Chains A and B, each alone.
Chain A
Amino acid sequence: METKKFTIGQLIKGYKNKSVSPREVLDYVFSNIKLYEPKINSFVTLMEEYAYKSVESLSFDEIDSKPLWGVPVAIKDNMCVNGFKTTCSSKILEPFTPIYTATAVQRLIDAGAIVVGKTNLDEFAMGSSTENSAFFTTSNPWDIDRVPGGSSGGSASAVAARFVPLATGSDTGGSIRQPASFCGVVGFKPTYGTVSRYGLVAFASSLDQIGPFATKVKDVEAAFSVISGKDEMDSTSHPYVFSPVDKNIKEYKIGIVKELYETEGFDSEVLDSLNNVIRLLKSEGCKVDFCSLPHLQYSLPVYYLVATSEASSNLARFDGVRYGLRVEGKDIIETFLQTRGRGFGSEVKRRIMLGTYALSSGYYDAYYLKASKVRTLIVNDFEKAFGEYDCLICPTSPTTAFKKGDKTNDPLSMYLSDIATIPVNLAGLPGISIPVGLDKKGLPIGLQIIGKPFNDNDVLNFASKIESIINFEAEPSLLGGR
């Protein structure tokens, strides 16, 4: 199988004209994984036996009713799949096997997708490099000395390495878009609430969003149309029904986020790539202009107050009483302390402490409440911008993939790699990262497109139009040996 043809569209086409069977595709998937996984380490758990069983239960009669019929998919290991370990790449959840399946995953399965494994992540989705996994670090298929980004680095690398044509990620501050950018694939964070969070182990409830990775915009669109919609198990989920649009690129008025263009810290090659996109858009007759989001500069501190506050609360349930790791102490308090002390990694602990502090009495007004207010200002900035523009564009990340270990001792510089993605989560907007070029080192550069809330179809359509103009066809050199 040609890797360039390893897309959902190509697979379904092959299945329909019987040139390939889902079983043969699984054979290809697992042989590929066996060959390259030791270098990449995308997976925490492989589900080979389960995948073959699932394939057997697929009926060819359903190929037209199930949009993801026979499509192999990898699931980020913070989403539950009944009967399989869900570790969140954390020691505290290492022994945990859920008895339920996340709604988004269930919808993929119901649409005919075949789950092949669970992918590595930064512990509890906290991080931007997948180096915070309690188990191992995933490598970037474009350069195995570099990080794949994070926290959904396992999923992004699995798609980049062409292990699977589709993977799920979760995005709290950029955890889908930033690794997509680093790995040269497409990663989509839908509008908050369009995809149920049921079965996604919570990091920060008001920011978390599930979304897909694929190599083409059409593929993430196919996955999104399956997983989105109201879920009775998640009261914050929205009765959103996805309907694709096909608008010409000329019909779009695009804003370039000034604050994410002029600010220091963005690599010149990243900005060159953005300039190239702008030039192409203009030549296509698209209106492109600079727009300003004056409160964007506060996004990072606001995010780290809101996200850590919610995380400190969400992670309180991991106490060794009911499931997961338990380290016995002399009494219950000691058991709590020992379990949490040994179970959580240092980044998770850092964030729990930050959040606990921000919420404690006497500090609530100064930190959490203030952050919530500034968050509203950021939302208002976007609203104002969307009064004028259909979509906003900016680089997904200030840099391309950095080397492993480069930022592990400097959390603040690590946090900066999400500077362009975080504001989108604070405002609950849809955002997508698509590959638009390579830097001199041959590392992919991502472009982020941000849309109005519940205008996910506009974002996807516009992304798809740029994709066809740019025609990014590069693949990791690793795959050259195939």
Chain B
Amino acid sequence: MNNNVVIGLEIHAQLKTNTKMFCGCRTSFGDKPNSNVCPVCMALPGSLPVSNKKAVTYTVMSGLALNCTISRYSKFDRKQYFYPDMPKNYQISQYDLPFCRNGYLEFFCDDELRKVRIHRIHLEEDTGKLIHTGDIMESEQSMVDYNRAGTPLMEIVTEPDISSPKEARLFMFELRNLLRYLDVSDGNMEEGSMRCDANISLKNPDGTLGTKVEIKNMNSLKSLEKALEFEINRQSHVISSGGIIIQETRHFDERDSTTHSLRTKEEAHDYRYFPEPDLLPVVITDEEVMSISCNLPELPLKKYFRFIEELGIGKNDASTLIFDLKLANFFDECVKCKCSPKEAVKWILGDLTYFWNEKKIEPDSNVFTPLYLKEILDLIDEKIISIRQAKEVVEKVFEMIESPRNIIEKLGIKQISDEGFLIDTAKRIVEENPKAVQDFLKGKKNAVGFLVGQLMRETKGKASPEMSNKIINEILNELSPKE
């Protein structure tokens, strides 16, 4: 952590509503350009906006999850500027009365619980997209796709509480995870459904704040961290070589991880905000806030502490689980099915994750259910299958999409625990391998492993490893000269 760095973030998250902020058009992506448009989102003359109630609810949900105060009286305002992909040439946004204010988000950074304050959260509409033919500077014409125009956009503004690029990344990671838990945004930075601008300044030697620079266009958590690292170095270098930092907006270039000046603040817009007269002010009642608050899901940090404190899971495993809601839910389901939490975690983060990844399916896809894991753990406990066989069964479940018990029935996977049979076979193997016995007698303990392996091979892997080990050891010990 660097006490001289001051970072604040502005995050735009597209909300996962089915329809746009002010009309009934679909919000889906990748559709044919200008196929999800109507008179309202195209701002045709005479069209009027009508607010999406779900988007308001999602914003209030996010505010509550981020410990904000929810405004009981809010309104929409118009933010005016001319831009070809903005149909009305004003954006319906919020100015002085946003839905949420004064919250915070807690997250771990270097094993320490950090808190970053949230200044405000407001709701606005997204713009369309300009598509340039060829190079942006050279192209003769630009085309506009208005499919995105009017998509609900939630803007979260932090206080300048972040003091390192890493912390910024972890904050964004936690925030994204939180929004995914709330199921209000898919938080996909690469696809632009979550966008982040950073304001960064270095403190002067006397402790006062230096000039603030804004960085835009960071398309991943990694590039956010890189951009900030570059910018800290750049600013330190400018200051140490006697220069001054100018207030400007800089663009992050992914290709060489540098930032470039986009525009200086002198060109700042006069947005001429005024209350949107086409929409009535939004009144949110105590009952509504209460009802949304009661329906909030368990949030990542709370889940993390519950996994550790109530279920006895290790910190690292708990973090891995909560970073993926589907994984965490799968784990919770397993615990509900009475799986031992520690065993469940081992299997989930081990073999199951391996196969989920390999088969490219999600934990909630019902191919491998929590009940299956319970069956497998029971089969091991009942000594019907070995751990090794259990791994084989897991693989088969993903292939055959059947229950573990059906699979062991069909494929005859079962461990041999018939003691008499195992002793007879073991004796035969010991007789057939005099060299191994000699080695053992000479003190080479790994000869035991070799003989157990032979026994396994003889039984096609079905012998109980535990019993095999015990029997071989007993036989060999009997052969040892008695002192």
Q: Which residues of A contact B (CB under 8 A)?
A: 78-80, 86, 88, 93, 96, 98-100, 102, 197-202, 204-206, 232-236, 309-310, 312-313, 316-319, 321-323, 332-333, 336, 356, 359-361, 364, 368
Contact = CB atoms under 8 A, between A and B. Distances in A.
A313 B274 contact: yes
A359 B48 contact: no
B89 A319 contact: yes
A309 B48 contact: no
Contact of B80 (A88, A234, A313): A313
Nearest to B269: A361
Interface string B86-127: 011110000000000000000000000000000000000000
Contacts, number: 103
A336 B82 contact: yes
Given A316-B88, A322-B87, A364 B274 contact: yes
A332 B143 CA distance: 12
CB-CB nearest 4 A-B residue pairs: A316-B89, A205-B277, A359-B272, A206-B277
Contact of A319 (B47, B78, B82, B273): B82
23 contacts: A79-B46, A93-B45, A100-B39, A100-B47, A102-B46, A197-B46, A197-B48, A198-B47, A198-B48, A201-B45, A201-B46, A234-B48, A236-B48, A313-B78, A313-B272, A316-B90, A317-B43, A317-B45, A319-B82, A319-B89, A336-B82, A364-B272, A364-B274
B48 A233 contact: yes
Interface of B: 39, 42-51, 78, 80, 82, 84, 87-90, 142, 144, 270, 272-274, 277-280
Given A316-B82, A317-B89, A360 B272 contact: yes
Most buried by A among B47, B270, B279: B47
A98 B40 CA distance: 12
A136 B47 CA distance: 27
Contacts of A201: 45-46
Contacts of A80: 45-46
Nearest to B268: A361
B50 A232 contact: yes
Contacts of A78: 46
Contacts of B270: 360-361
A72 to B, nearest CB: 23
A interface SS class:
loop
B278 A233 contact: no
A102 B45 CA distance: 10
Contacts of B50: 232-235
B interface SS class:
loop
Contacts of A88: 45
A31 to B, nearest CB: 32
A78 B270 CA distance: 30
Contacts of A79: 46
Contacts of B51: 235
Nearest to B278: A205
Nearest to A234: B48
A312 B271 CA distance: 13
B39 A99 contact: yes
B218 to A, nearest CB: 26
Most buried by A among B80, B270, B277: B277
A93 B46 CA distance: 12
A310 B89 contact: no
A202 B40 CA distance: 13
B277 A310 contact: yes
A318 B277 CA distance: 19
B84 A332 contact: yes
Most buried by A among B43, B44, B50, B89: B44
Most buried by B among A310, A321, A336: A321
A206 B277 CA distance: 5
Contacts of B88: 316-317
A3 to B, nearest CB: 33
Given A233-B50, A316-B88, 12 more contacts: A197-B46, A198-B48, A199-B46, A200-B46, A202-B45, A206-B277, A235-B51, A236-B280, A313-B78, A317-B43, A317-B45, A356-B272
Contact of B46 (A98, A321, A336): A98
B43 to A, nearest CB: 5
B45 A96 contact: yes
B132 to A, nearest CB: 11
A364 B44 CA distance: 28
B274 A359 contact: yes
B139 to A, nearest CB: 11
Contacts of A321: 84, 144
Nearest to A337: B82
A316 B46 contact: no
Contacts of A322: 42-44, 87
A316 B80 contact: yes
B44 A98 contact: yes
A232 B23 CA distance: 11
A99 B82 CA distance: 25
Given A206-B277, A313-B274, A316-B89, A323 B46 contact: no
A235 B469 CA distance: 78
A313 B88 CA distance: 9
Most buried by A among B50, B84, B274: B274
A317 to B, nearest CB: 5
